[in-house]
Structure formats: structure tokens, C-alpha cells
Amino acid sequence: MSTGLAASMGKVAVLMGGTSAEREISFLSGNGVLDALRLVGVNAHAFDPAERGLHELKSDGFARCFIALHGRHGEDGTVQGALELLGIPYTGSGVMASAMAMDKVMTKRIWEACGLPTPRHVVLQPGSQELADVRQVPDALGLPLIVKPPREGSSIGVTKVQGYSEMIDAVRLSAKYDPDVLCEEFIEGEEVTCAVLGTGAGAEALPVIRIQAPEGAYDYQNKYFTDEVRYLCPSGLPEAEEMEIRRIVLASYRALGCRGWGRADLMIRASDRKPFLLEMNTSPGMTGHSLVPMAARASGIAYPDLCLRVLASATLDTPGAAAA
């Protein structure tokens, strides 16, 4: 991309850190983005909302923000709402789409209403997390099953439950991160992910990545701090499967009203090769192990160009208030 585009971005804040359980990963993403933007000539600066008030973005003359925050108070519509009030364009989805995509239960409801495939689920609210309630979940969903907090990411607080006796501990772990607990049917098969760039009719799905983790454990440690996970891109899937995954990912992205960029995670059921949507990430990781840069690279988009392209898409929900 041209140096003229980089210069036109103005003074840019890369929002990183924050207060969520994913603070550590956010710094890895944010510093990668910061270095890349500076490399292509953007006047970019680190900004940690946990250390500085967002009002300083306005007083310090920032023209736009690259959101490299993950999780709560970064990916859930709250920071997006503050930036709307400040009138500072930002990367990624707007307030409503961010809030809905951050909540896996709301996401599922929207996908189900649109006829998109997602695993069956049960929600345990604070008043229904005692042993008698918890033991009924495997009867509804079967075993094994997944227990996780609906408003966290990076596999934090997630347990694969193999038997009835494991349910209560799994629910208690999840409840440390979110008052509601999401119990989800386990889909036996291959894990894949698919990134999207763009907005509306102009959005495009990038190549699918197939993930092979040790013993199938694509957890927090394996996502970010080991080199034992294999990422296959090209995926090696039959062309018809790859195209179907791209199709439903684009449909899921548009159904939530996402814009700019995002990444959907899916499982392909081994028994019939049917793909199931798990979640939509509206502020995907940009670390050395992250998947959007990998898919972009397979499409011929280098990491610095990817960062600049996402930054150039920064906008506001308010009609007519987008950056020039």
C-alpha cells in the first residue's frame, strides 16, 4: 500500500492492554500492530485504556484508533461506544455488532434465527448452577460437552467435560469469569477458522485454516505460547468444503452486522463433514501465532499491509461521520 495512504491516517492510537482477562494477549497483538504501522509510515502510538482515560485520545489529537484490545471493555461494544461519543473513528465492528458477537449466547440466537449451523446449547444462569440443575445438562446435550463463559475469549475458563462428575467443577470455573455459563454440544471433528475482511457486500472471506492441536487441545497455552500446534493454510480441505465454510462465515458475519474485519471459529463434524459455527471474533488476535495474518499472507497480503488495510477501514456508526 502507498506511503500516501499511511500519511493520510493522521495520528493513530493503537489501543492495547485494557482490563480483561486477555490483557497479556492484547499487548502481544497491539505491539505487533504498532511496529507494523510504524514500518509503513503511520504516526502510531501505544495507548492502554487501563492506564489512561479515553478522553485523552481527543485532547492528544488522535485522528483514529486501531483496536487491538481483546475481551471485555475492548471487544464488547463499550470502547466502541466511547469512541462514538468522542467522534474518533475506530477499526472493527460498531457498538451493537461488537456487543452481540462478544456474547456467545446472543450470537447463537441470531445465527439460529438465520438458519446458520451452530452447536446445541444450554445456558445456566446464576440461579440454576447447583448440582441438581447442572447434572441435567449432559442429558440434554450428551457427553462429552463444552462448558465456557459466554463473554470471554482465548479459551479462558473453558472445560471439555467427559462425565457427570466433572460438570460442577467446570461450571464453577466458568462462573469465575462470567455469571452466566454456556454449556455446548461437543462437535467431534476438525477445528477450522476463517477470517473476513471488508463490510457488507464488499466483505470477503480469506482462505480457511485447519488447526491441528496436540491431543485436540487448542487451549490458551497452545494458542499463544507453544509451537506444537499445526496450522494448515491452504487447509487441504476438499474445494466444496472450503467454499461452504467461506459461505456460512460470510453469512454469519453479515448476520451480526460486523464490519472491517473479523474471524469465525468452526468445527467440522467428522461423521458427516457438516460445519458448525462456534463464535465470531470482532477484534482478532494479531500475535505471532495469530490466524488472520496467516490467512492474509496466504492471500498475498503481508502483515504490515494487513494492518494498514484494517486501519484504513476505521469508521463510526454515525452516518456521515466516517474518516475521510
Positions marked catalytic: 22, 154, 224, 263, 265, 279, 281, 285
Q: What's the chain look like in SS3?
A: CCHHHHHHCCEEEEECCCCCCCHHHHHHHHHHHHHHHHHCCCEEEEECCCCCCCHHHHHCCCCEEEECCCCCCCCCCHHHHHHHHHCCCECCCCHHHHHHHHCHHHHHHHHHHCCCCCCCEEEECHHHCCHHHHCCHHHHHCCCEEEECCCCCCCCCCEEECCHHHHHHHHHHHHCCCCCEEEEECCCEEEEEEEEECCHHHCEECCCEEEECHHHCCCHHHHHCCCCCEEECCCCCCHHHHHHHHHHHHHHHHHCCCCCEEEEEEEEECCCCCEEEEEEECCCCCCCCCHHHHHHHHCCCCHHHHHHHHHHCCECCCCCCCCC
Rounded-to-integer distance, Cα 284 and Cα 299, Å: 17
Adjacent-strand bridge partners of 147 = 159, 183
Rounded-to-integer distance, Cα 309 and Cα 9, Å: 11
Judge whether 105 and 182 are in contact, CB under 8 Å: yes
Q: Which residues does 234 contact at the CB level (< 8 Å), separation at least 6?
A: 207, 298
Rounded-to-integer distance, Cα 71 and Cα 242, Å: 28
